[in-house]
Amino acid sequence: MSKFSKSLLATTAILLVTVSPVLADAKDDKIAAMEAQMRIMMQEINTMKAERAAEKADVAAQQASVTRKIEAIEVKADQAASNMAANIAPAAGGASNDVKISMKGGAPKFQKGDFSFQPMGRIHLDAGSIDDDVVDHPNGAEFRRARLGMKGKVAKDFGYKAEIDFANEGVALKGVYMNYTGIEDTEIRVGHFKPGYSLEDMTSSNDITFIERSAATEPFSTSEQIGAGVLNHGKNYHVALGVFNDDAGRQSNDDEQFSVAGRLAGTPYKDGKNLVHLGASASYRKPDQANDRFDYDSRGENRLQTSDSVSAVINDGENSTVVGLEAAAVAGPFSIQGEYVMADVENEAGNDPRFNGASAQIAYTLTGESRPYKISKGAFGGIKPAKPFDPANGGWGALELAARYSHLDLNDGGINGGEMNNVTLGANWYLNNNMRLMSNVIFVDTDENAVTPNDDPTIFITRSQVKF
């Protein structure tokens, strides 16, 4: 190696030894400075995190405070509402939380203390056709009845009933009255209701065996009248007495119709569901003084006809006395029923016509049910199927077959209103306690004095019925 090379290497070694410590010290200083800056940054980050956590805690605390305030307000509102409801006292008095709801007759009954309210109603939809004889009678359908109403009590022993009929888009008051029942087995009525007359008339249209009441009794019925009456019953008897004015839908420019009516009925024999019913009714009637008119008519035990089959009109009537006799018997699923009615009319001409009607019917329930009887009304109720219609569980309702003969004679004392004899065959299917399907075939036979002489149509008619 040359001297120059050796000299260069020696110089380089000296420089490295001299410079290395200086460079190392500078590097350490930079690292220390960077570490210090990182520590400052981490402190700032931690400070920011702490501040953010504190902010979140404040927000959560505020939210919790607001929630507690809202909950407190809701509690106070609920308490205030409860206090207000507790302080509301209905007419009958007492606390509001003792309202009782029960089911009765297919409709809910609401009762609070002595006050009660129960909705009620019935829909009877008829449809059919007429096999014409002399004249052309219309086929068709109609709502025979479409009633809504309510009944209940307003105070101890004081009750009410209000029922309105909307059939054929009309409005008619039916049973609308107030009553008092504070005397044992006694009811005092004031309002619009039926006078005591005829077993068939006292049996609700929901429960009669045929679609229409017989020609023997229907023409002499006064339907609901404004009046006052007393009804009383015991274990085996029923009595009804009343004084009446006129139908609520009629007005007159003279003294209105006036009548006094009474009925006595009872069960001289009763053993379980088997019974014998006997009864009699009588009424004295004065016509509306504006026209002195008595009108007795029938459409052949149906309402599809638009004209009467027989009709007797007395335009000079002074008064009439209507007397009725009734009898019925039930033996298990078998029942019979018969009635006789006579109307004795006094008129100014002095010929004093006397009209009469009679009917007899028989019915048998193929499924074994019996016709129920209500001594409080002195009349029958509706059949209740032992197995209501429910095919999935073997229930098909109750099936009843029936036949009736009726006679009406409106020819007497120079009045030729006509004579009519009807034979009706019927079938009733009780689907349940509130629904029934009915079918009747009516064979009509009239005489030469009928509205249309010797017009003898055959009527086929059905009814779909619901009651509650």
pLDDT in tens, 278-336: 999 999 999 999 899 999 999 999 999 999 999 999 999 999 999 999 999 999 999 99
Domain that holds residue 185: 114-467
Inside any domain, residue 36: no
pLDDT digits (tens, 9 = 90+) for 136-148: 999 999 999 999 9
The pLDDT of residue 61 is 76
74 inside domain: no
CA distance linking residue 173 with residue 50, whole number of Å: 83
Q: What's the domain count of the chain? A: 1
Residue 214 pLDDT level (bands cut at 50, 70, 90): very high
pLDDT at residue 80, as a whole number? 66
Domain-embedded: residue 340? yes
In a domain, 449, yes or no: yes
- What is the domain-level CATH number for residue 365? 2.40.160.10
Give the C-alpha separation, 327 to 329, whole Å.
7
Distance of alpha carbon 257 from alpha carbon 220, whole angstroms = 14
300 part of a folded domain: yes
Q: How far is CA 421 from CA 132, 195, 322, 358, in A?
A: 17, 27, 21, 10
Residue 15 lies in a domain: no
Residues 6+ apart with CB under 8 A from 122: 145, 146, 147, 205, 206, 465, 466, 467, 468
In a domain, 363, yes or no: yes
Does the global pTM surpass 0.75? yes
| pLDDT of amino acid 75 | 72
Whether residue 46 lies inside any domain: the answer is no
> Hunting for tokens 């003792």 — which residue is that?
98
* Three-class secondary structure of residue 184 per DSSP: coil
Considering only 129-133, 226-230, 348-352, 415-419, which range has the smallest mean pLDDT? 348-352
Q: In this structure, are strands 373-374 and 354-365 parallel, antiparallel, or unpaired?
A: unpaired
| Residue-wise pLDDT tens digits, 50-109 | 777 777 777 677 777 767 777 777 677 667 666 665 555 444 444 456 899 999 888 999
